[in-house]
Chains A and B, each alone.
Chain A
Amino acid sequence: QPAQEQAPQLDAQSLQEEQGPVRVMQILVEGNQRVEADTILSYMLVRPGDVADPRLINLSMQTLFATNLFADVRVGIEGSTLVIFVRENPVINRVVLEGNRAINNSRITDEIQLQPRALFTRARVQADVQRILEIYRRSGRFAVQVNPQIVELPQNRVDLVFEISEGPTTGVRRINFVGNRAFSDRRLRSEVVTSEARWWRFFSSNDNYDPDRLEFDREQLREFYADRGYADFRVSSAIAELVPDQSGFYITYTVDEGQVYNFGEITVTTEIEDLSSEYLEAIVSTRPGSLYVGSRIEESVDTLTFAAGAAGYAFVDVRPRVRTNRETQTVDIEYVINPAPRVYIERIDILGNSRTLDRVIRRELELVEGDAFNQVLVNLSRQRVRRLGFFENVEITPVQGSSADRARLQVNVTEQPTGELAFGVGYSSTDSFLVDFSVSERNLRGRGQFLRFRVSESSRRRQIDIRFTEPRFLDRNLAAGFDLFQVRSNFSQEASFETESTGFSLRTGFPLTASVEGGLNFTLRNDEVRTFAGVSSAIARAAGSRLTSLVGYSVAWNRIDDFRRPTNGFQMSLNQEIAGFGGDVRYVRTEGRGAIYRNVFRSDIVLSLTGETGLILGWGGDDVRINDRFFKGGNSFRGFETAGIGPRVVQRNTEGELIRGDALGGNFYAIGALELGFPLGLPEQYGVRGSLFTEFGTMGILPSVDQIADVGGTTSAFTIDELAPRVSVGVSIFWDSPFGPVRFDFAEALVHQEYDRREFFRFSTSTGF
């Protein structure tokens, strides 16, 4: 039955021959219950007194029918009156859903068109059946059947019942690949979004079969291969077979990898005379002879467009012509630069920002009204607005402007909630229980500002802080903000003292170049140190409360490829704090950190070398107190307890061995770590990785005032402070469990001082939800 019923046609000829042209004196409407006669008449093109022209009558019948108000419309002529018979579509009294367990009523009723009080038409019912099927298909159920039932009610009303039989969930049982030689099934499985259904994967819905996601996966595979030299890679087929008992799907990708290609001849051709091809061919990132990488072509188009713009040709259109030749296994690319029409942007309208302020978005755009239209800058702008993280979706579409050479840009954003309530619980062998609670808003008052209130409490440390950041201070590329904090740390086990610092800091951060970030801050805090009775003078000296007022700066140079799990590149940072602008404490604290990451053997094995060093010096006759000194060991030096290495109060026992006392911290430290991270051979989905590491370094230099000489004998305690080297070696296991990251460290201190506190096993986990 055709979805869209045909409007009944008045067959014009019969009317004509029978009575010849008839003048209509009166028009009557019959059969209408709900719709008033004059509403129907208002649609009629024939008025009393006109000639009954069949074409007009037909047209008016069609318009009447198009209103969807009527199931049937018929017209007859009796004498000089035109009579319109209508049979109105019934009104829906109630829409009832039966048999839907997996998807609740409201999700279905929101999606379907037929609602109570709406008009019932067969076409709409069919359309709604399809909508219900689509909802189930999207949530992975393909064996669902829906048939609509009608319950007739008096006064031309009906109840509409959808009987749904859901059938089993059709998850993806297995994904396998045919024809892949270069990369293992497991490696390819980690590239596609669809994943195999596993019991622990209850949060994600990616393990349901969804045809559009299959399409997306084909593209993912093509990009993966294209970036690794496989220019003519093709997914010849992607089949999803339903398992006989309909409990799930097997997905098979048949791939035709083809050969590995290098870039062959790279040429730039342009009619614009004084754009020199040689120069342009030099700056393109697709270098002849190098491995073919698909994404580099897109990059080169951007670089060429920019270069032409800089040379005074704002209106250019760059098209890459790609020719792969199988014999020489090379891909030749010819970039053709043609002049494009001279179009300027007359207006940029921002739509959909019901919370974010217009300027917070506008300041991210690379284009300004009046500028020449440039698609590369439009793409760049879209990326920068998306990076704000306030929007689910950002689209920038050019629209024809007020004249041929004018265009308007419409920046369409869809807002997403940017407030977060985070609650985390953690446990570690040193800190025992850790609870973390925070409320944050990333787009405060639509101004793009960040505000977070956070409390974190563990057995040794409690921190309460409020953080505010304005990312574009004074509309410049300058982030500024402040922090209010109170930190209570309990070092009683390690160094028998407790500190409570309360204060605030003002900070700014700004980019110096594309990969170098600078920062300045001013901090004013009151540190209160409480020591226990009978503790050695080295610690007792620090008791009491002092005001620290310091100014600090930081520089960070960042060239790593991925923040979460770096595999290549390096990172270096230096920061320095000068305390003594007022307040009672005067010191200069300098810390530096560097890290280099390299892929070795395979793409998922990473060798990293990290080094960090710090030095703190009192000035103006002020000696650094224990609470400002460095404490290393534990997470910062695996194989040793927290504050396990460095200067310490000791006592000699009768046999002449040293009994460990309180740690004293040191003014200097230098620690390095060489680590090899690798997957443990378990399937990627378990998310388990291991690493072999060795850590080496030293810590020391106690201010002279805190040193107590060794007068021999076993009675008096004394301080020991040697910059002795320590080395440890060990294994760590990381597991991204569904409950959060879990980490086990096993480390043996090979080279250590007799008085150091060693630790073999360390365990920590934290869950956020």
Chain B
Amino acid sequence: CNPTLRTHGYRYTDGEVPEIQVGEDTEATLLATLGSPSVRGTFEENTWYYITDTREYLAYLRPNTLARRVIAVRFDDDGTVAEVNEYDASDSRQVNYVARTTPTRGRELTLLEQVLGNVGRLPTDQISGQDNLPGGAGGPRRND
């Protein structure tokens, strides 16, 4: 049985990676050759990441990553390339993601509700704490 391959993220034209010259290339030249980065540094705007991920989808197995290429380009303040780092699949590490999540409001549909097909709504008292009358105490009566 033949797996299907799918490439996610940044796509290089015809496969080879153009050489990035430290000190010579600038943000402008990279934009021209490679185009804009997949993602920028969260707090370091002048770090660009080109992330490509080739994955194999086979029947019921969890899709596994065959190849990955991450090119991290750091520019110094005047926009020329200061440092280029490359990471590939071998750098990836096993991470068991924390199960806890930050709570959000909103109620799951109760089973009965779902089967009967009507959609429950978000009770405001659960959120704003005041009684359910809009505008807290008093309604239109108050200001007429």
Contacts and interface: CB of A to CB of B under 8 A. Distances in A.
B15 A419 contact: no
B5 A310 contact: yes
B38 A419 contact: no
A441 interface: yes
Contacts of B11: 312, 314-315, 342, 372
A476 interface: yes
Interface string A435-447: 0000001001110
B7 A313 contact: no
Given A312-B15, A403-B36, A441-B115, A370 B8 contact: yes
Interface in A201-220: none
A274 B109 CA distance: 54
Contacts of A560: none
A513 B2 contact: yes
B65 interface: no
B61 interface: yes
A371 B9 contact: yes
Interface residues of B, number: 31
Contacts of A274: 14
A242 interface: no
Nearest to B16: A312
A419 B117 contact: yes
Question: Taking chain A's interface residues, is the majority helix, strand, or loop, or is none over half, making it mixed?
Answer: loop
B43 interface: no
Interface string B60-85: 11100000000000000000000000
Contacts of B115: 419, 441, 444
Contacts of A51: none
A418 B107 CA distance: 21
Contact of A476 (B5, B6, B62): B62
Contact of B14 (A311, A403, A444, A474): A311
Interface in A640-667: none
B12 A312 contact: yes
B59 A513 contact: yes
Contacts of B8: 368, 370-371
A445 B109 contact: yes
A511 B60 contact: yes
A39 B27 CA distance: 56
Contacts of B24: none
B7 A444 contact: no
A310 B8 CA distance: 12
Interface string B86-117: 00000000000000000000001101001111
B122 to A, nearest CB: 13
A446 B117 CA distance: 10
Interface in B25-40: 35-36, 38-39
A344 B35 CA distance: 10
Interface of A: 272, 274, 309-315, 342, 344, 354-355, 366, 368, 370-372, 403, 405-406, 417, 419, 441, 444-446, 474, 476-478, 510-513, 516, 518
11 contacts: A312-B13, A314-B11, A315-B11, A342-B11, A370-B8, A370-B9, A406-B36, A419-B116, A476-B61, A477-B60, A513-B59
8 A-B pairs closest in CB distance:
A510-B60, A314-B11, A513-B1, A478-B60, A312-B15, A312-B14, A445-B114, A372-B11
Given A370-B8, A444-B114, A513-B1, 15 more contacts: A311-B14, A312-B12, A314-B11, A354-B119, A370-B9, A371-B8, A417-B117, A444-B115, A445-B108, A445-B111, A478-B60, A510-B59, A511-B60, A512-B59, A516-B1
